[in-house]
Amino acid sequence: MFDGCEWIPYLPGSIWSETNEKWSEGSVAWRVVGMTPNKFWPDTLNEDEIRRTSFMSIELANVFPRKWYFIIEFPSGRFEIGYYAQPVDVGSYVILEADRGEDCGKIVNAMDEYKFESHLMKIKDARKDLVLIKVIRKASGDDIQKLDKKKEMEYMSLKQCREMVSARRLSMDILSCEYQWDAKKITFYFRSDKRIDFRDLLKDLFKIFKVRIWMCAERRSNAELIKRII
């Protein structure tokens, strides 16, 4: 819901610029499965054999994909695209890589490699704007139970942050709060018409929660782009 924002991180003793640590396949050339340049075909194959082998390659890629792709939704309404070496049923929860830790979300759509790349071909700039995240494993029952506890933590954290913002008369609205599943980071989403100096607020928030604090300005997210893939 609030993807594509400027992240303002806080670590004890410093305010620093965070690099993009999401796992992306940008360095890997995208391709259409089964489309191999003719120069790689043996000279002994005639045109009919090459055409037949090309279609076979596409069909095999569809039947035996090397990766599966998932649209993953988080309780905050945020969407991400994850990939995994095994198929996972829609409705399942998975643990995936996150900012220096792990997160947990629910699969709302799943597709094989061939279908995913076919969708991308129809959407302008999709490959440039989307970030793919590695799924680590399926979530266990204990993993999912942590989500309920996380909701309680988010409710209390949101209340405390709003009170602190009000006490400091900061010109900003705290919209929501999201704990990373492993509780190593809290993200506060906000709206403001002007630039805000967060330094004192961030220091006080860290004293209370003892985890990494991120402030994220409300921006246009990639949720609509991801929904087009669904």
pLDDT tens, position by position, 89-106: 999 999 999 988 999 999
Give the distance, in angstroms, between the CA of residue 211 and the centroid of all CA atoms in the same chain.
21
| 230: nearest Cα among 139, 114, 109 | 109
CATH number for the domain that contains residue 11: 3.30.300
- Are 44 and 131 in a shared domain? yes
Q: What's the pLDDT at 204?
A: 94
Same domain, 80 and 123: yes
pLDDT of residue 108: 95
Per-residue exposure over 40-60, b if at least 16 CB sit within 10 Å of its own CB, e if not? eeeeeeeeeeeeeeeeeeeee
Q: Is residue 26 part of a domain?
A: no
Residues 121, 60 share a domain: yes
In-domain check, residue 160:
yes
Last residue of a domain, one of 117, 140, 163: 140
Residue 101 in any domain: the answer is yes
Q: State whether 49 and 94 are in the same domain.
A: yes
- The pLDDT assigned to 181 comes to 95
Query: Taking the model in full, what pTM does it have?
Result: 0.65
Kindly state whether residues 153 and 90 are assigned to the same domain.
no
Domain count, the chain: 2
Assigned domain for 2 exists: no
The whole domain housing 135 covers 38-140
pLDDT tens, position by position, 34-75: 333 333 334 454 555 544 444 444 444 455 558 899 999 998
Which domain-ending residue is among 121, 140, 159? 140
Q: Does 27 map to a domain?
A: no
Q: Give me the residues of the chain with pLDDT under 50, please.
A: 1-2, 6-43, 45, 50-61
Same domain assignment for residues 108 and 174: no
* Domain final position from 140, 172, 191: 140
